[in-house]
Structure 1
Amino acid sequence: MLYFSRWKTIGIWAVVLLAVIFAAPNLVSQATLAKLPDWLPKKQMTLGLDLQGGSHILLQVDANDIIKDRMQSTRDEIRTQLRDAKIGYTGLSGSGKMVQVRIRDASQVDAAKAALKPLTEPIAAGLMSGGSVTELELAEPEPGLLRFTMSDAGLRYRMSAAVSQSIEVIGRRVNELGTTEPIVQRQGEDRVLVQVPGLQDPQRLKDILGQTAKLTFQMVDQSMPVQEALNGRPPAGDTIMYSKDDPPVPYLIENRVIVSGENLVDAQATFDQRTNEPVVSFRFDSKGASRFGQATQQNVGKLFAIILDDKVISAPQIREPILGGTGQISGNFTAQSANDLAVLLRAGALPATLTVVEERTVGPGLGQDSIQAGKMSALVGSVLVVVFMVAAYGFLGWIANLALLANLAMIVAVLTLLGATLTLPGIAGIVLTVGMAVDSNVLIYERIREERRNGRSLIQAIDTGFAKALATILDSNITTLIAAVVLFFLGSGPVRGFAVTLAIGIITTVFTAFTLTRWLVAEWLRRRHPKELPRGYVRIVPEVTHIRFMRVRLQVFVVSICLCIASIGLLFTQGLNFGIDFTGGTLIEVRAKSGDADVGDIRKRLNAAGINEVQVQGFGNATDALIRIGTASEKGEEAGNVIVKNAQDTLASDYQIRRTERVGPTVSGELAWAAIIGVLAAMGAILVYVWIRFEWQFAIGSILATINDIILTLGFLVVTQLQFDLSTVAAILTIVGYSLNDTVVIYDRVRENLRRFKKMPLGQLLDLSDNEMLSRTTMTSVTTFLALLALFALGGEVIRSFVASMLFGVFIGTFSSIFIAAPILIVFHLRPTTQKEMAEAEHATAQLPAK
């Protein structure tokens, strides 16, 4: 284990050197990187929205809009096909996903079916769709009545096509804004995720994404006054539409569309040469130019309306034919609104209405504060761990710290190369890795000390310590890795960032412990020829202990069960302080532009603005406040967007909007369900792994101890009323991994002792195993606790509930591993527990007939 060939040595240090080279660009500015030679790596980690500011918006395609448009086009197609076939009909109508028509002459029913057959023909085929997709299904509930119903498969196909088209249109719109590295991708069957880092004006993004941008040019009907149409009934073929003016002006618009936005090939924001006002110049394709020129030739002197999403932008008079296929749109624009309209028209219309169902916006000021808080907490946490390791292990502690620095460089390098996004929870994952990374070194060092106490020579003790610690380290880290993988696949956004950094940290930790640390120790032995292990300056737990843990197991079980019952009772009576991730609603963090934040004044302003379901509280500094607005589920998703805009406008004069998070009721329900599935999936996967690696008693014992930890952590959250959100679910899953890490380490020693001491009673053997691992368990808990303590004190208010849950979890996880996970093996009769039972078991075995 301690011999390294030249090629192994070169390989180990090459990996470390490459990690440092690829991680180094993250320590300098872009300006400095630009001055370096091009052959040097210059890629930096992508910062998440919570670190550099920006917007995360989840949009949902309106299925009703898809159905409405498709049913309208179906009615138009039926009307056209039957007229062309000269088939008389009546009662052409529809509702929901159904359109029906009655054929007047029974003898023409078959001819009508033949004419309308194209409507029921397959519209797509492929492996992914499982064959042909028939969008409309024809039925004849009574003679002569033809009913077309949209199939579920057809709706799914249309939704999928609408989402794909929406992604293309949104991508063009966002890119037109000039933002860097926007992310536009499908999420689920009917949603589009948009992330735009560094965006300074998130409201502008929402305005641009929220417009369908269906542009049409239609004639204004001047055959009767519009007021007469308002008082009575508009003529057939006409619709009353309103302008965007304040107050809105009504127009009587002919339904016939002259030209639509599909015929537009370019649109640019310019200035009118006569009035110098901002306008939008447009240009049609040949087909659009021809139709537009013909319409303006035939209607000189009349008004025509330019309509965007059923709102009249302007209704100018046609003074002369417009034959060149170009024109301009005027309508009291500002320079920005004219540019935004040009962006919408160039990008094209969305196929359906998109509703914001989730929004998370972080201002650049808060992002910079988060970066500083993350750097400071990581630095302080690392210093605390470094000092503690040197104090505990002396020179070996310095070796562990060097491996830790290499470990951090590898994590940053891998994140950089993968193009992963670093979020605030991601920094938390790195800080947690700092605390847990030393666990492998602690396991190795404690095992080396134990082997030395058992009489082995120094070299034998070190060689055996590395060899025997390998299986334990792998088992303990794989359990945490399972939790991280489940977090990644079932989590979302920042939770995934935490999972990625944690998973990468686990892999790099195992690598550094069994390559770099081992090489450094071997090199120290080769060069210094020491006679004894270096001693530390402090010792938390004596080297050898004889604590009778099993003697108090029943009392611990009773206390633990009582606390679990009390926690469950509090869950049902007092309940968790659910965040908006699970309740839906809006969270707005503000900072006073001058002086302290006045909570009472903020509440009064919002109430005066008609926002009643509001809670306002201090948050972090005296200048900051946190506003929670209840969900508007009964008013729909769009109502929530209006409330958010109203609240921001109300406070904008005196407060800086630092962060906005809005989760619709639909998404909140899905997130709650995903959180439950995540915890159950993680526990199930770990249960299977422990069962395979050990025996069924160990698997059941580890799960029961973990359930105990989860229930007590939930009880802690109820008592403290810390906010329970997605990051807290990440904390609970990490506690699951951490607790099982501790439990597996102890179980690994139990398994080893079961092989060594075949006649020792189980209770005595479990006491021995707990005592042998007590020093390691305590040392690991202290290092992790120190790292988390720095994050709790300096990481900022946003992740405080997350870190507080972790701190409690480290304590309770360590306790349960020693006092619950090991003693519970006695309950399952892993082995006879007393000398008398051992003798009876041996006698019974001796009486069995020989095979």
Structure 2
Amino acid sequence: DRWARLTGEAACAAPGDPARRVAIVLDDRVISSPQVDPSVACGDGIPGGATQITGGFTDEEARELALLISGGALPVPVETVEQHTVGPTLGARAIEASAWAAVIGTALTALFIVRAYRLLGVLAVVALLCYGVISYAALAVLGATLTLPGLAGFVLAIGMAVDANVLVFERAREEHAARVRPSVRSALTAGFRNAFSAIADSNVTTLIAAALLFLLASGPVRGFGVTLGIGVLASMVSALVVTRVLAEFAVSRRWVRRRPAVTGIATAGRVREALARRDPQLMRRPRRWLAASAAVLVLAGSGIAVRGLDLGIDFTGGRLLQYATTHPVDPERARSALADAGFPQAVVQSSGDTGLTVRTERLTDAEADTVTRTLAALGAEDAKGGTEGAEGAGAPGEVEKVRDELIGPSLGEELSRNALIALAVALGAQLLYLAVRFRRLFGAAAVGALAHDVVVVVGVFAWLGKPVDGVFLAALLTVIGYSVNDSVVVFDRVRELLRGGGLGGGTGTRALPDLVNTAVLQTLPRTVNTGLGAVLVLAALAVLGGDTLTDFALATLIGVVVGTYSSVFVASPLVLELSPG
């Protein structure tokens, strides 16, 4: 109505008269002053929803003007009322401990790969270093900020980078052990060629999930998608380009040809040799494995039903307490002291030079007083070793509560809903891809194994009384990616055997259980070696990473173990049970 009245008054002036113009002002500057069209009668004006500005604009000028007008549509003045500077959720000690855990875990994984694959293992470690450089450069170019879910994406991508190298080397071992490729060089070439489909399928399914999480989700889940996508692309480059160039150059050297054992692929490996001697028929009775898995599911699910999920403050919200202290209090010590006092989920951050901010679950006033007394005792203890009688700041070690308020969840209802929708769409897209690349029953089996892994991990956390928060969400996303990747590797070998390829020869009259059993046995060395590589990194993070990352490492560690089991003893038996005959 105001716009119609304003333009109606301007329309009363003669065409060309400055009074016929309407000025559009943003930040005290006129950004446009169009005159009211002569077709508008005096006093009638222009309805607010039917306004157009016409003129000799270039496309760029028109877009810029539209953006400026839209940006100034709600001229709300902004005034800074209060400002707080808080430290990181992970304190300096936790970050340092996590860095050392990552270094030690990566070093152990590198030693394991070198021990298993010798010269080619050394080259794979070099390729993994290149993966790290590529990933860091991509993050730097994008200006991304690394969060805990982002760290989870990198952990999964590192596992996939290791897995790609292990797939190639184990396939080359198969070729050489069967004397299908008598020389190390030809066996390596065949290894890269035959492992490519498994690497491509597992990485493409992960990239689909990463892209959909980035497009549909928000917040920390979107960060997971960004780092996972970057990590997967970097891992493919490191495994299929860097490793291949270095490995083919190395095996073509004369001294290597004279000593093929140094390459690490001239021997079958301990796991493969043991399987060859015993030839276990793991898929003879698939229902037994499914029954055992169902029992595990019931046990884990009962934890959710009996104990319930301890939703963290990221999902439930809680209470925010801010303190001013006369003496600096170490956030790490404050976090430990509050955990001992019965507040294990408390998030403690530094605030300004000497203050502390505590975020915790919803507290009664008595519980809030306990938090205050705990920090006051800690401040008095710290003050004994510091400067007595800080000038103008009260007694040494004094802790004063300056802020106390209820806070909403950082993973609010909309954010959680978007994350679930994105995850459901991502899983649906993965299922569709697997149905196209394999058979529908393979996709259904992979999703069944995935559901098994998720329920077990959540159930174990329920029994342990661990909080389900943003850190756990990051670990669960990692488990989901790892589970699908593991199942795809086994299914790729089944598909190859069904087509009559692979080292098992043509399918002939072999029944599906026999083919699936062969595929499981042929891929089991890769499954064991990849799982051990991931376990070494996660175990180091769980032991040395500090309280904040222990739950993340524990959840991911459980997921890796369960995912390794489910790819063999859940996904494969499901394929047999879902098969029409």
> What is the TM-score when the length of structure 2 is the normalising length?
0.72
Q: Structure 1 residues 814, 667: closer, same or farther in 2, change over 3 A?
A: closer
Inter-partner Cα distance in structure 1 for 2:163 and 2:337: 48
State the shift of 1:539 in Å.
5.5
Q: Structure 1 residues 627, 582: closer, same or farther in 2, change over 3 A?
A: closer
8 Å contact kept, 1:742–1:777 = yes
State the shift of 1:788 in Å.
1.5
The structure carrying a bigger helix percent of its residues is 2
Q: Which amino acid aligns with 1:457?
A: P
Aligned to 2:427: 683
State the shift of 1:714 in Å.
1.4
- Do residues 407 (structure 1) and 127 (structure 2) align? no
Q: Which amino acid aligns with 2:562?
A: I
Aligned to 2:104: 380
Aligned to 1:122: 49
8 Å contact kept, 1:770–1:818 = yes
After the TM superposition, which of the residue ranges 682-691 and 741-750 deviates more from structure 2? 682-691
- Do residues 430 (structure 1) and 154 (structure 2) align? yes
Secondary structure at the aligned position of 1:541 is classed as helix
8 Å contact kept, 1:425–1:799 = no
State the shift of 1:471 in Å.
1.0
Equivalent residues in 2 for 1:224-623, closer than 5 Å: 362-363=86-87, 366-455=90-179, 456-458=181-183, 459-527=185-253, 528-531=255-258, 532-534=260-262, 535=264, 541-543=271-273, 545=275, 546-586=279-319, 592=329, 616-617=343-344
Secondary structure at the aligned position of 2:526 is classed as helix
Q: Structure 1 residues 661, 732: closer, same or farther in 2, change over 3 A?
A: farther
Q: Which amino acid aligns with 2:412?
A: S
Inter-partner Cα distance in structure 2 for 1:366 and 1:661: 23
**What is the RMSD computed on CA atoms of the aligned residues?**
4.3
**Paired residue for 2:362, among 630, 634, 638?**
630
After the TM superposition, which of the residue ranges 556-565 and 485-494 deviates more from structure 2? 485-494
**Bigger Rg over Cα:** 1
State the shift of 1:702 in Å.
0.9
Aligned to 1:772: 522
8 Å contact kept, 2:154–2:231 = yes
1:120-149 Cα offsets, whole Å, 9 max, x none, are: 6437679xxxxxxxxxxxxxxxxxxxxxxx
Query: How many residues are aligned here?
Result: 481
Q: Structure 1 residues 556, 416: closer, same or farther in 2, change over 3 A?
A: same
Q: Which amino acid aligns with 1:558?
A: A
State the shift of 1:827 in Å.
1.3
State the shift of 1:732 in Å.
1.7
Aligned to 1:737: 481
Q: Structure 1 residues 122, 616: closer, same or farther in 2, change over 3 A?
A: same
**Structure 1, gaps ≥5 residues long:** 1-69, 82-113, 127-159, 175-202, 207-360, 605-614, 633-642, 833-851
Q: Which amino acid aligns with 1:384?
A: L
Identity %: 34
State the shift of 1:468 in Å.
0.6
Q: Structure 1 residues 808, 736: closer, same or farther in 2, change over 3 A?
A: same
Aligned to 2:556: 806
Q: Which amino acid aligns with 2:448?
A: L
Q: Which amino acid aligns with 2:182?
A: S
Inter-partner Cα distance in structure 1 for 2:575 and 2:331: 62
Aligned to 1:721: 465
Inter-partner Cα distance in structure 1 for 2:281 and 2:146: 46
Inter-partner Cα distance in structure 1 for 2:400 and 2:540: 28
- Do residues 712 (structure 1) and 438 (structure 2) align? no
State the shift of 1:516 in Å.
1.3
Inter-partner Cα distance in structure 2 for 1:662 and 1:421: 28
Aligned to 2:353: none
Q: Structure 1 residues 760, 654: closer, same or farther in 2, change over 3 A?
A: farther
Give the number of the structure with larger relative contact order, counting CA–CA contacts within 8 Å between residues 6 or more apart: 2
Equivalent residues in 2 for 1:77-156, closer than 5 Å: 121-122=48-49
1:719-761 Cα offsets, whole Å, 9 max, x none, are: 1122112332232222111111010000000000111214211
Inter-partner Cα distance in structure 1 for 2:534 and 2:322: 30
- Do residues 763 (structure 1) and 491 (structure 2) align? no
1:239-273 Cα offsets, whole Å, 9 max, x none, are: xxxxxxxxxxxxxxxxxxxxxxxxxxxxxxxxxxx
**Paired residue for 1:205, among 83, 98, 101?**
83
State the shift of 1:711 in Å.
1.2
Inter-partner Cα distance in structure 2 for 1:401 and 1:661: 50
8 Å contact kept, 1:585–1:664 = yes
Q: Structure 1 residues 679, 397: closer, same or farther in 2, change over 3 A?
A: same
After the TM superposition, which of the residue ranges 787-796 and 736-745 deviates more from structure 2? 787-796
Q: Structure 1 residues 728, 775: closer, same or farther in 2, change over 3 A?
A: same
8 Å contact kept, 2:218–2:419 = no
Aligned to 2:28: none
Q: Structure 1 residues 377, 625: closer, same or farther in 2, change over 3 A?
A: farther
Q: Structure 1 residues 380, 161: closer, same or farther in 2, change over 3 A?
A: same
State the shift of 1:595 in Å.
12
**Structure 2, gaps ≥5 residues long:** 10-40, 54-69, 351-355, 380-396, 501-506
State the shift of 1:676 in Å.
2.4
Inter-partner Cα distance in structure 2 for 1:593 and 1:826: 57
State the shift of 1:784 in Å.
1.0
Q: Which amino acid aligns with 2:92?
A: Q
Inter-partner Cα distance in structure 2 for 1:746 and 1:674: 32
Aligned to 1:18: none
Q: Which amino acid aligns with 1:825?
A: V
Q: Which amino acid aligns with 1:616?
A: F
Q: Which amino acid aligns with 1:122?
A: G
State the shift of 1:630 in Å.
1.9
> What is the TM-score when the length of structure 1 is the normalising length?
0.50
Q: Structure 1 residues 514, 125: closer, same or farther in 2, change over 3 A?
A: same
8 Å contact kept, 1:487–1:733 = no
Inter-partner Cα distance in structure 2 for 1:519 and 1:488: 32
Inter-partner Cα distance in structure 1 for 2:578 and 2:90: 53
Inter-partner Cα distance in structure 2 for 1:437 and 1:661: 46
**Paired residue for 1:824, among 569, 574, 580?**
574
Q: Which amino acid aligns with 2:83?
A: L
State the shift of 1:627 in Å.
5.4
Aligned to 1:266: none
